[in-house]
Amino acid sequence: MQHDLLAMPKKNRQSRTTRDSISLQSALCFQKDDNVFLGHDRIALLEKIQELGSISQAAKAVGISYKTAWHLVDMMNNLAEKPLVERTTGGKGGGGTILTEDGQRAISQFHIIAEEHQKFLHNLEDRLGDTHNLYQFLRRISMKISARNVLNGTVSAIIKGAVNSEIILSVGEKTKIVSIITNGAVENLGLKEGMNAYAIIKSSSVIIGTDLEGAKISSRNILCGTIAKVIEGAVNTEVDLKTTDGNVISAIVTHESAKTLGLKEGGQACAFFKASSVILGVI
């Protein structure tokens, strides 16, 4: 048995419906030998076959072609221990299609499980409580951007200048990222201290360095840690650096630079990037 869990805006449960609330819904199906065996669409087809006694009429009733209907029926019959649908011959109407006892039992059992499944989702909804927070979480994890580095944090300080503002984002217990954006961007994003925000940095903007003790660097952002991954290419090399707070920063450096620095998995290094290279985002 498999079900794909979806969070969707509430529409029909008016007792608990608000503009921002959501409900949990899912598509229930049974699998056998890595193939879909029964689902709501196939149960609907079986029910119409039982009601109409004709696979052509059943196909038309559920909105699929006659060929597709027989393909689904053959698949269900092959996966079931005993056939769910049988053809009949002769008689006044010249034959037709009927459900076997196993087919009727499959419909009944599917509805029982579907009912219990809905009860489970409703109980899960009740335990979640404020589903608006879940909706915000799902929106965050579904965000798609091209930049490799997206770090979640909290705005700890906003220092406004005449044109630009310096935003300090805490992305870990010890790690802070500084971003320089325009005052207009601060207003458009509605940035305030204590609110959640994302630091977005392109991997091409990240420089990797080693043996930096005593070195002076103009970049405001310096994150040190352990090299977690090195992927070598003919021209460029991708380097993933895991910081002491557990964040991962990806950088793209030239193949020759990686060789010169001796970058290897497990080695120590630092990633640094300018405050002007940090884009801020909110949801």
Burial (0-12, 13-18, 19+ Cβ within 10 Å), 104: middle
Say yes or no: 173 and 212 in one domain: yes
95 vs 88: CA distance, rounded Å: 5
Say yes or no: 34 and 109 in one domain: yes
Going by DSSP bridges, is the β-strand pair 196-201/248-254 parallel, antiparallel, or unpaired? unpaired
Task: Specify the pTM.
Answer: 0.51
Distance of CA 250 to the CA centre of its chain: 21
Ordered DSSP codes for 176-232: EEEEEEEHHHHHHHT--TT-EEEEEE-GGG-EEES--TT-----SEEEEEEEEEEEE
How confident is the model at residue 138, as a pLDDT? 60
In a domain, 259, yes or no: yes
Other C-beta atoms within 10 Å of 249: how many? 25
Say yes or no: 63 and 170 in one domain: no
In a domain, 142, yes or no: no
Other C-beta atoms within 10 Å of 252: how many? 18
| Domain end among 106, 136, 166 | 136
Tokens encoding 251 = 């950088």
How confident is the model at residue 96, as a pLDDT? 80
Residues in the chain: 283
Say yes or no: 230 and 126 in one domain: no
In a domain, 143, yes or no: no
In a domain, 179, yes or no: yes
> Where in the sequence is the domain holding 64, given as residue range(s)?
2-136
Say yes or no: 7 and 101 in one domain: yes
In a domain, 185, yes or no: yes
Domain of residue 161, CATH code: 2.40.50.100
How confident is the model at residue 167, as a pLDDT? 95
Domain of residue 25, CATH code: 1.10.10.10
Say yes or no: 130 and 242 in one domain: no
Say yes or no: 102 and 206 in one domain: no
In a domain, 144, yes or no: no
How confident is the model at residue 154, as a pLDDT? 92
Number of domains in the chain: 2
In a domain, 141, yes or no: no
Say yes or no: 115 and 177 in one domain: no
Instruction: Determine contact, residues 223/175, Cβ cutoff 8 Å.
Output: yes
Report which DSSP code applies to 177. Answer: E
Say yes or no: 14 and 57 in one domain: yes
Sheet holding 35-39, edge to edge: 2-9, 22-32, 35-39
Ramachandran bin of 8, using left for φ above 0, alpha for ψ from -120 to 50, beta for the remaining angles: beta
61 vs 70: CA distance, rounded Å: 14
Give the side-chain half-sphere CA count within 13 A for 259.
8
75 vs 85: CA distance, rounded Å: 11
- Collect the ranges in the chain with pLDDT lower than 50: 3-20, 93
Instruction: Determine contact, residues 165/182, Cβ cutoff 8 Å.
Output: yes
Say yes or no: 26 and 115 in one domain: yes
Say yes or no: 93 and 202 in one domain: no
Say yes or no: 130 and 153 in one domain: no
